[in-house]
Structure 1
Amino acid sequence: MTQETDLDTVVRQRIKGLRQARGWSLDALAARCHLSPSSLSRIETGGRRIALDQLTVIARALGTTLDALVESADDDDVVIKPHRDESRGVTTWVLGGERSPHGMTVAKIRITEPVEAGPLRQGVHPGRDWFTVLSGTARLHLGDRVVLVETGQAAEFSTMVPHAFGAHGGPVEVLVILDHDGERAHLHASTVDLTGP
């Protein structure tokens, strides 16, 4: 099978899968696309070529984009490679290659170097940050306050308060959800900046 044929098959499967996920019959989607149910059926099963103008209308009716329907299905969109900063003991996995439609970024962060008890360089940015501790204990600095967040606990705070976090008493793994400003402040290039912008 050629790469073009493989992609054609994937696009047809995506159309059918999205239609079924919405609980729509062929008739329901065909009406939204201004196609006959038999034409749509042949598109889904490979009995008819998909014209670009039809694909655009079908994507819109399914609530997706043309890009999403035809994006490559190679392993690069499955395997999330870690970004390591050995000097700071930080490994980051950014989950989802593209920012979600809601402007949020999700990342898993493993920190092996402990945070010193002394003052950290704390930063501020608009918005809110949220994280949950998967393992270990995180030391969260919020201005003059120090909050220990343990395995299974979560923290949410205004990022207009000077803040930084790191490991306490051993390695820590956290799952963070950052808005656009938080992503820009904390996820720089291939590393994570836990000590503020």
Structure 2
Amino acid sequence: MTNGETNGVPDPTEDVLAGVGPRLRALRRARGATLAALADETGLTASTLSRLENGRLRPTLEQLLPLARVHGVPLDDLVAAPATGDPRIHLRPVRRSGLVMVPLTRRAGGIQAYKVVHPPAAKASKPRPRTHEGYEWFYVLNGEVRFVLGEEEFRLGTGEAAEFDTRVPHWIGSAGDRPAELLALFGPQGERAHLSPAEPGAPLAAP
């Protein structure tokens, strides 16, 4: 019996685990994080992280859970490659601070697309403008949006769009009595800022 085979039959688990390392490396590099920084975030050692990325260490659930949390992706995305030849997109909503974010792209790095659903104004938190590296664009699919940018405030309705430098303090929320649905595009730093958990009111700036 050879490695990766059971009773002479190839073990599909080995193929799945073999793909974990490259995905972990791509996710870390997309965030611009070093092994040392990732070690601080996950509690794993830099040596362990390096061995996982290089395929020299078989990943365990205890190692993958903090990595999935820090990278802001479902555990399934770490251990299973997208189905080839299937054009369907399997959407997995991510919930953060009252928002629902549905990833529309699966590749690591580059511009990321999300459908973002903001709760009705009555249930939204008080505006707390934040900053981070990057540039953002959003289009209002449904509802009405309250958009704070620096010292200015705007109201955008269905079919309107905005683009801005995210280094300027900004806040986006629903302006009506129903949820506001947006299509948002942003790069790795913006993706990290929107998906990383933060204390309410805490400044959100890329390191």
Name the TM tier (shorter chain): 0.5 to 0.7
* Residue 180 (structure 2) aligns with: 172
Q: How does 1:53-72 map to 2 (within 5 A)?
A: 72=83
* Residue 101 (structure 2) aligns with: 92
Letter of the structure 1 residue corresponding to residue 91 of structure 2: I
Give the C-alpha shift of residue 167 in structure 1. Answer: 0.6
The 8 Å contact of residues 147 and 172 in structure 2, kept in 1 or not, is answered as yes
Gaps of at least 5 residues in structure 2 are 1-9, 13-80
The 8 Å contact of residues 186 and 194 in structure 1, kept in 2 or not, is answered as no
Identity %: 32
> Is residue 139 from structure 1 mapped to residue 146 from structure 2 by the alignment?
yes
Q: Distance in 2 between matches of 1:160 and 1:144?
A: 13
Gaps of at least 5 residues in structure 1 are 5-69
Q: Distance in 1 between matches of 2:92 and 2:125?
A: 33
Q: How many residues align?
A: 125
The 8 Å contact of residues 138 and 165 in structure 1, kept in 2 or not, is answered as yes
> Is residue 73 from structure 1 mapped to residue 96 from structure 2 by the alignment?
no
* Residue 189 (structure 2) aligns with: 181
Q: Distance in 1 between matches of 2:104 and 2:201?
A: 17
Q: Over the residues paired in the alignment, what is the CA RMSD in angstroms?
A: 3.7
Alpha carbons of 1:125 and 1:84: their partners in 2 closer, same or farther (altered >3 Å)?
A: closer
Give the C-alpha shift of residue 150 in structure 1. Answer: 0.9
- Larger mean Cα displacement after TM superposition, 145-154 or 106-115: 106-115
Letter of the structure 1 residue corresponding to residue 94 of structure 2: H
Which secondary structure does the structure 2 equivalent of 1:129 belong to? Answer: strand
Letter of the structure 1 residue corresponding to residue 192 of structure 2: R
Larger Rg: 1
* Residue 44 (structure 1) aligns with: none
Q: Distance in 2 between matches of 1:179 and 1:121?
A: 22
* Residue 130 (structure 1) aligns with: 137
Which secondary structure does the structure 1 equivalent of 2:192 belong to? Answer: helix
The 8 Å contact of residues 165 and 195 in structure 1, kept in 2 or not, is answered as no
Alpha carbons of 1:3 and 1:166: their partners in 2 closer, same or farther (altered >3 Å)?
A: farther
TM-score normalized with structure 1 length: 0.52
* Residue 46 (structure 2) aligns with: none
The 8 Å contact of residues 138 and 184 in structure 2, kept in 1 or not, is answered as yes
Alpha carbons of 1:115 and 1:185: their partners in 2 closer, same or farther (altered >3 Å)?
A: farther
Which secondary structure does the structure 2 equivalent of 1:185 belong to? Answer: helix
The 8 Å contact of residues 147 and 154 in structure 2, kept in 1 or not, is answered as yes
Letter of the structure 1 residue corresponding to residue 172 of structure 2: F
Q: How does 1:25-64 map to 2 (within 5 A)?
A: none
TM-score normalized with structure 2 length: 0.50
